Amino acid sequence: MILSMIVAIDQNNGIGKGDDQLAYISADLKRFKALTTGHTILMGRKTFEALPKGALPKRRNVVITRQSGYNAPGADVVNSLDAALALCQNDDKVFVIGGGEIYSTFLPKTDELYLTLIHHAFDEATVFFPKIEPGEWNVEHEEGPFSDEKTQLAYSYQNLRRK
């Protein structure tokens, strides 16, 4: 199993404000769908509850919570990092899709990062991605910068693989 993370981060590693995303970049959402479809997505309970239509289709959805008996329609539920890894051990590729608490917990176990770098610092950010130590990662692929017509945000993609 390859453990990957996919995340959109701003210039200060900001990823969210309260329960909401910092920005919705339509091309990035399409890329998220293309990369994760057919694979497993692993998320914290808060990120799951923020999905507007619940579990995402054509993907195995796994939700982490400390609550026992938590019901997540369309998703498998686990209560710890170890339980999540055990449940997914035979899956080819698992994408951790957030949020902040789950990114921090899983980063040390992660093989690959699919970053969307938003070239802006959002003052309103309250949730952050953990520090990415440059010495621990090779840049495998870079694309951009692009400009989002709707939000006027500049962004680029960077795929990192653990050395």
Ligand X SMILES: NC(=O)c1ccc[n+]([C@@H]2O[C@H](COP(=O)([O-])OP(=O)(O)OC[C@H]3O[C@@H](n4cnc5c(N)ncnc54)[C@H](OP(=O)(O)O)[C@@H]3O)[C@@H](O)[C@H]2O)c1
Name the residue nearer to ligand X (CB basis): 117 or 127. 127
Q: Are 7 and 134 in contact (CB under 8 A)?
A: no
Q: How far is the CB of 99 from ligand X (least distance, A)?
A: 2
Name the residue nearer to ligand X (CB basis): 44 or 110. 44
Name the residue nearer to ligand X (CB basis): 65 or 151. 65
Q: How far is CA 47 from the centre of its chain?
A: 10
Q: How far is the CB of 101 from ligand X (least distance, A)?
A: 4
Rounded to whole angstroms, the Cα distance separating 40 from 152 reads 32
Backbone angles phi, psi at 27, to 5 degrees: -65, -30
Q: How far is the CB of 123 from ligand X (least distance, A)?
A: 15
Task: Name the residues that contact ligand X, by CB under 6 A.
Answer: 7-8, 15-16, 18-21, 43-47, 64-67, 79-81, 97-102, 105, 127
Q: How far is CA 101 from the centre of its chain?
A: 11
Handedness of CA 32, 106, 60, 161 (dihedral sign): positive
Q: How far is the CB of 138 from ligand X (least distance, A)?
A: 22
